[in-house]
Structure 1
């Protein structure tokens, strides 16, 4: 993977993680680093799901892919926050 791919993955992961965190109501018990990690993972899995479902080859913006990524990030943030909140 080239450096531009790594940088774009970090930027997209940060945005997806932040959007996922905004979707989850209440206070989350995770830091910025975990939000970015969850966002990157959600972006990768959401893209894979969109490719398998045949939704990634559209003209224009891939809104369904973004929606899948944000929903996965929200689920990840909520799950991680619940685990950290129990401690």
Structure 2
């Protein structure tokens, strides 16, 4: 069974720009958690969800939407794990 994996199109300037934003949001989310700032980390999760909406509604790029969705899911899962450990 073949599976398709969505990837960045590095020849597309929008994908390159969004990739940089996504990496920055991910790094800042991790940093906020490491500094004990869960509300700040939550803001970065919101930014990731905002990028997903931009990719879908503004850029109409379904591959980019999927990548942003994956980032949102990863940040959410990471946040849930860290909150469980803290409890």
TM bucket (normalised to shorter chain) is 0.3 to 0.5
TM-score (ref. length: structure 1): 0.36
- Flag the structure with larger Rg: 2
TM-score (ref. length: structure 2): 0.36
